[in-house]
A and B are shown apart, each in its own frame.
Chain A
Amino acid sequence: RKEVEQDPGPFNVPEGATVAFNCTYSNSASQSFFWYRQDCRKEPKLLMSVYSSGNEDGRFTAQLNRASQYISLLIRDSKLSDSATYLCVVMEYGNKLVFGAGTILRVKS
């Protein structure tokens, strides 16, 4: 079993749609959680950290459920520019980031 699992997609959605990505992780001792965004042939860019209480940044909302070892990302009012691969990331003891394989999002006009 992979340490961080994501649905690879692709998710094809129209502009303005709401889309949700889910992720599960296997190491219950994981300490911090993030969503990164990666455009084709570019480096991963930090989208948002994920807090236990859930957090929101504009159109993006992240949730963490430690008991179920589950992380989610909700994108509201999708824009064409949101098209990218979204990486679910878990930080383990010692600051090592463990990445999921990513979920591809394609927003179409």
Chain B
Amino acid sequence: GAGVSQTPSNKVTEKGKYVELRCDPISGHTALYWYRQSLGQGPEFLIYFQGTGAADDSGLPNDRFFAVRPEGSVSTLKIQRTERGDSAVYLCASSLWTGGKNEQFFGPGTRLTVL
């Protein structure tokens, strides 16, 4: 079956612009997560959705970052007034939350470059 997909795979933008990054989770997975990975580091948690609602957005760095998942499937991460420090790979993961181990499966990521 299809894995997690993310679009675009690469995005180059200018400082101050607005960007949207899309994630399509594995079919049937109720939980969806966004992470950000900088060079030489492990991914860092941004936000987690259970269904349509954001269950934990404690990792969003500031109010320029926002994410939605209106129908409980596809999610969009939105970044306003981009800054050079936002450049990173943005990873999406999904899981079939059964109350057990909750293994998360990652998409290929969107590489964001802010010039």
Using a Cβ–Cβ cut-off of 8 Å, how many residues does chain A contribute to the interface with B? 21
A99→B48 CA distance, assembly (Å): 15
Q: Are B42 and A100 in touch, CB under 8 angstroms?
A: yes
| A14-22, A41-49, A71-79: which lies at the interface | A41-49
Nearest residue (CB) in A for B59 is A96
Q: Are B42 and A96 in touch, CB under 8 angstroms?
A: no
Q: Are B35 and A42 in touch, CB under 8 angstroms?
A: no
- Contacts A43-B91, A43-B109, A101-B40 given; does A96 touch B45 at CB 8 Å: yes
Hey, which chain A residues are within 8 Å of B56, CB to CB? Answer: 94-96
Interface membership of chain B positions 67-107, coded 1 if the CB is closer than 8 angstroms to chain A and 0 otherwise: 00000000000000000000000010101010001111111
How far in angstroms is the closest Cβ of chain B from A62?
A: 13
Q: Are A101 and B42 in touch, CB under 8 angstroms?
A: yes
A46→B101 CA distance, assembly (Å): 12
Within 8 A of B (CB), among A16-69: 32, 34, 42-46, 49
A91 touches B (CB below 8 Å): yes
Nearest residue (CB) in B for A33 is B101
A102→B39 CA distance, assembly (Å): 11
A105 touches B (CB below 8 Å): no
Nearest residue (CB) in B for A51 is B101
Q: Are A102 and B42 in touch, CB under 8 angstroms?
A: yes
- Contacts A43-B91, A43-B109 given; does A97 touch B103 at CB 8 Å: no
Q: Are B103 and A44 in touch, CB under 8 angstroms?
A: no
A100→B45 CA distance, assembly (Å): 12
- Contacts A99-B42, A101-B40 given; does A94 touch B48 at CB 8 Å: yes
How far in angstroms is the closest Cβ of chain B from A46?
A: 6
A95→B107 CA distance, assembly (Å): 17
Q: Are B97 and A95 in touch, CB under 8 angstroms?
A: yes
What are 19 sample pairs from A and B whose C-beta atoms fall under 8 A apart? A32-B101, A43-B108, A43-B109, A45-B106, A91-B102, A94-B56, A95-B33, A95-B48, A95-B55, A95-B97, A95-B102, A96-B48, A96-B56, A96-B58, A97-B45, A99-B42, A99-B44, A101-B41, A102-B42
